[in-house]
Amino acid sequence: MFSLFYGLWKYMFSKTEFHVLILGINKAGKTTLLEKLKSVYSNLEGLPPDRIVPTIGLNIARIEASNTKLVF
């Protein structure tokens, strides 16, 4: 019985989560795009474009927009 209520609660109040992979060649603006999305859709302040350095490794971010979660 508990699982029925839990499933209903999760269905009604959970946000849909999408995993987004940004691919491109070197210096194509992938990190700049991610920083701009962070500044537009979240309370986080993104870096200005002149302060962004080339990314070594991974650049991971979570953004909540309306009723969805985006994981980059």
Residue stretches of the annotated binding site for Mg(2+)? 31, 55
Mapping DSSP to helix (H, G, I), strand (E, B) and coil, where does residue 9 land?
helix
Binding positions are 24-31, 55
What is the rounded distance in angstroms from the CA atom of residue 43 to the CA atom of residue 9?
27
Residue 4, helix vs strand vs coil: helix
Residues belonging to the binding site for GTP are 24-31
Q: How many CB atoms lie within 10 A of CB 10?
A: 9
